[in-house]
Structure 1
Amino acid sequence: MHPHNRKKLEDRVRRAAEAALAARKYVSPVDVLVGIGWLDPGALKRWQQGQLGYLEEAVQTNLPRISEAMKLFRSWAAAKGLRPSETAYIARTPARQMLRFSKSGDPAIEKLYRTHWISGDLPEKKQKRLVERASRAPELVVIQPLNDAWKCHRCAGTGDFLMMEAPGPVCLRCAGLDDLEFLPAGNALLTRRVKANSARHAVVVRFSRSRRRYERQGLLVEHRALSEAQTELEQHNRECS
């Protein structure tokens, strides 16, 4: 890379990394790729949902430039005295598979992508909480479609809810979530109790045409957890009345 172009890229990487660090007290390679405009947030979301084979597939430049940008980022992070922390990247799918970053799948490259850099100014307890939060498996997202004119790409069935996979929509039966029960939004106390006790759950969203965005409608939860939480709240209300 020409020295002038390398300096321009170094400046872009630095600005993106500093912005992410200021906002969250840590910064990741993904933050930098988004910040310099090489990775579209929509493509990032599809990757997180397991709809892309690997992240580099969505990065809008060639592999040598990606490699150079990541080297510049790591050099910046080390010079800032940031603490490296390897983070788990888990797909937002029922299978909970580990997400892949690179075209090659080389373990050393994958580890570099998974490494977050944390501010050394934070107390140790806060650093630990950041690491735990970053490694937490993301919530599953289920879509409540606006109409029933959709077909599961696996079984050609349909239903009230769907999940998105790379080939297309999939019904809850094929996704292994058809035993879950829908809990509409509106009762925050019940929702918190059920969510805490349901080993499996998924956030239900529906697209709002007026607001042009997906909005939360409730949760899919285990029947046992819902029944127990409802019983507990009923008992609590009787004791308080």
Structure 2
Amino acid sequence: MSRKNKVQLVDRVARAAEAALAAKSFVSAIDILVGIGWLDPGALERWRRGQVDCLEGAVQANLSRVSEAMRLFRSWATAKGLFASPTDYVARTPRRQTLRFSRSGNAAIEAAYRTQWVSPELSEKKRERLAEKASRAPELVVVQPLNREWQCHRCGGGGDLLMMEDPGPACLRCVGLDDLEYLPSGDALLTRRAKAKSARYAVVVHFSRTRGRYERQGLLVEPRALADAQ
């Protein structure tokens, strides 16, 4: 890397890190890769859903550039006196498998990617709550499809709801969520109670053509949890 390009990368990493830190009081490797434009949010979401083998495979830069950016990020965080906070990253799938960052799977590289850097201005209790929240498994998401003629890539079946997987849509029976009961949005208190009582739940969304985005429609929760909440 030429000196000019290195200086430019230093500035880009610093700007991305400062922006994330100001917004969230912590900053991660993902924030840097998205902030400098090397990681598309859509590709990031596919990785979170377990549809991409490793995050480096979705980054639009060669590994030497990525390694340099990560080194500059760690140097920036250390110089700022940020606290290192190891964080778990699990997939937004029923299996909750651990997500992989690097092509090599090297333990040291994975640990570096998983480390979030937290503002020293936060109290110890706030840092602990932030670490707990960051390591929490993401919500499962199922979709009300626009096309009712879709087919499950595993069994060939269909249904009113699906979960997206790497090969294609999958029915709730195949992903092990067919025993859950649908609770539509509308009663915020009931939704909170049912969600808190349900060991397993999934958010139901539907794509709005007018707004051009997915919108929450309700929850899938365990029948016993819904009955108790009611």
CA distance in 1, matches of 2:203, 2:60: 30
Which residue is equivalent to 1:5? 5
Q: Give the letter aligned to residue 101 of structure 2.
A: F
CA distance in 2, matches of 1:56, 1:150: 31
- 1:58-89 deviation line (CA, Å, top 9, x unaligned): 10010000000000000000000000010000
Q: Give the letter aligned to residue 136 of structure 1.
A: R
CA distance in 2, matches of 1:152, 1:56: 29
Which residue is equivalent to 2:64? 64
Does 2:214 match 1:206? Answer: no
TM-superposed deviation, 1:146: 1.5
Which residue is equivalent to 1:129? 129
CA distance in 1, matches of 2:90, 2:223: 25
Q: Give the letter aligned to residue 105 of structure 1.
A: G
Which residue is equivalent to 1:86? 86
* Secondary structure, counterpart of 2:39 in structure 1: coil
TM-score between both structures, scaled by the size of structure 1: 0.95
Which residue is equivalent to 2:22? 22
The aligned runs of 1:71-150 (5 Å cut-off) are: 71-150=71-150
Which residue is equivalent to 2:228? 228
Which residue is equivalent to 1:187? 187
Q: Give the letter aligned to residue 199 of structure 1.
A: A
Larger radius of gyration: 1
CA distance in 1, matches of 2:147, 2:58: 30
Give the aligned CA root-mean-square deviation in angstroms: 0.5
TM-score between both structures, scaled by the size of structure 2: 0.99
Q: Which runs of 4+ in 1 moved over 6 A?
A: none
* Count of residue pairs the alignment pairs up: 230
Which residue is equivalent to 2:217? 217
* Secondary structure, counterpart of 2:220 in structure 1: strand
- 1:83-121 deviation line (CA, Å, top 9, x unaligned): 001000010000000000011111110000000000011
The aligned runs of 1:158-197 (5 Å cut-off) are: 158-197=158-197
* Secondary structure, counterpart of 2:153 in structure 1: coil
TM-superposed deviation, 1:181: 0.5
* Secondary structure, counterpart of 2:94 in structure 1: coil
CA distance in 2, matches of 1:10, 1:147: 46
TM-superposed deviation, 1:228: 1.3
CA distance in 2, matches of 1:206, 1:149: 16
What is the identity percentage for the equivalent residue pairs of Structure 1 and Structure 2?
A: 70
Q: Give the letter aligned to residue 30 of structure 2.
A: V
- 1:29-78 deviation line (CA, Å, top 9, x unaligned): 00000000000001000100111011011100100000000000000000
CA distance in 2, matches of 1:76, 1:58: 24
* Secondary structure, counterpart of 1:177 in structure 2: coil
Q: Give the letter aligned to residue 140 of structure 1.
A: L
Which residue is equivalent to 1:48? 48
Gaps of 5+ in 1: 231-241
* Secondary structure, counterpart of 2:174 in structure 1: helix
